[in-house]
Amino acid sequence: MSKPENKNENNNNVGKQLPDSPADTSRRSLLKGAGLLGAAVAGSSSTIIAQETNSTEPSARELEALEVLTAVEAEILEALCEVLIPTDENGPGAREARAAHYIDRSLSSHNEEYREDYFVSLNAINEFAQRNYNNSFARLRRSQQDSLVAALQNDEVAGCSPGSAAFFSLVRSHTIDGTFCDPYYGGNRDFVGWDLLRYPGVRLSASADDVAAGASLVPTHQSAYDNSSYTKQPDSRNRESGEDISHD
């Protein structure tokens, strides 16, 4: 028989999970979540684990490696994301959300099929910038960057893969993914994307009153993985004690 032995246990647990009361809402658990992804993606996790045990946000950021892109490509991408979803009077944008960081990671996991498109196209964008503005894309004035992105969308940047307009659509889509994803994936930092949309956040249950409140609900500012039932180690005590959960 292949019946799972824990079927009945799961049924019982279901009832216990019902109240919308995540086990751990700390900032630190988010960093752990990000670290777990890094470990899973990179295969070698020592750097990332070290960062989270030291856990202040600035140092964590500095110690993150590029997963796929070169340093120059990452600069171009960072600037491109910033043009697509700028920081402006409506608040933080793709830069604060760290969409480029999300994209870099995703290129070694679920977006792996697009790696070459990024290598080729980011360099084509820089060549276009050098040719037309005599500078690298990341160092252009914003108005120049805007013109270049418009050219990209209008299918005018030569040497892109799979093509200029097609790469625009691709990087636009991925920048949105990185700005509005669950923070576990390395983007939507500090929930800036969800706040921009006035999305009140992940919850395990929404009452009729919650729905009626709409955007006036207080945002939960939680990752899906702040709910311990969805993590590798469902027992929240391990998190409280600071035990490293990344080695399983």
How far is Cα 174 from Cα 77, in angstroms, rounded to an integer?
11
Site string for another protein, 14-33 (x = CB under 8 A): xx-xx---------------
Name the nearest CA neighbour of 83 among 173, 175, 3: 175
How far is Cα 47 from Cα 108, in angstroms, rounded to an integer?
17
At residue 22's C-alpha, the angle toward residues 19 and 28, to 5°, is 175
Nearest CB to another protein, comparing residues 47 and 217: 217
Nearest CB to another protein, comparing residues 53 and 205: 205
Taking CB under 8 A as the criterion, which residues in 145-164 touch another protein? Answer: 146, 149, 153
Name the nearest CA neighbour of 24 among 204, 242, 239, 205: 239
Site string for another protein, 98-137 (x = CB under 8 A): --------x--xxx--------------------------
Name the nearest CA neighbour of 79 among 153, 176, 146: 146
- Judged by CB under 8 A, the residue of 43, 214, 218, 241 near another protein is 214
CB of residue 68 to another protein, shortest distance in Å: 16
Side chain identity at residue 248, one-letter code: D
CB of residue 236 to another protein, shortest distance in Å: 14
Q: Which residue has the tokens 């751990």?
A: 24
Nearest CB to another protein, comparing residues 212 and 218: 212
Nearest CB to another protein, comparing residues 215 and 218: 215
